[in-house]
Amino acid sequence: MREIIFDTETTGFDPRSGDRMVEIGCIEMVNRVPTGKTYHAYFNPERTMPAEAEAVHGLSDAFLADKPLFAHCADDFVAFIGDAPMIAHNASFDFNFINFELAKCGLAEVCLTRMVDTVALAKVRHPGAKLSLDALCTRYGIDRSHRTKHGALLDAELLAQVYVELRGGRQIGLELLAETAEITTETRILLRKDRPFRQPRPHAATEEELLIHAEFLKSVDAPLWGA
């Protein structure tokens, strides 16, 4: 199963009040294993960056000044996500910004039925516990020492590891084993064909060994096999 783990960085909390998305990072996973394929882009928000937002993600007006508008990257983004489920932490926040930007370009919004919220998953798995991405990384022993500020792709990479744990860890299920079983068998057959032939080693006891064993049995008092 193909899934997209993603995160966004923005100028604020609400696109309806003029806030815009300035970064998005997406990780492709198949059967909950990262494939190495990613989508990452920065966008010019066509507005100034509030100091509070810049303090969170470090993206300044000067850095974003020469970045493309979302409209110039929208087709690539839509092609990358395809029709896969989309997983985010507090997903409704990220979906609001993505769908605002898509609608602004005249493109179809991402259906909310595709949305998977890891906060909701964590509430079920760890009721009453802290549910921030940092707290979940600590719970699952995921290294985030390289994360000094929020970043969409970096946070998506961390979330991908958290998501796997929330879904039960690295033991994905029998369907993945079934998909790889034929390849594994074929590989083993090929390896066997390439191996040099070796004569089988003798496993039968020698005459001397049989005599020694018979003498040993005579020394056993009241053996069970003689009852």
Kindly list the catalytic residues.
150
- Cα(137)–Cα(144) distance, integer angstroms: 7
- Cα(160)–Cα(165) distance, integer angstroms: 9
Cα 82 to chain centroid, rounded: 17
Cα 66 to chain centroid, rounded: 31
For residue 21, give every residue at least 6 positions away whose Cβ sits within 8 Å of its Cβ, in sequence order, or none: 8, 9, 10, 15, 43, 45, 70, 97, 98, 100, 101
Which residues are paired to 26 by β-bridges?
A: 6, 39
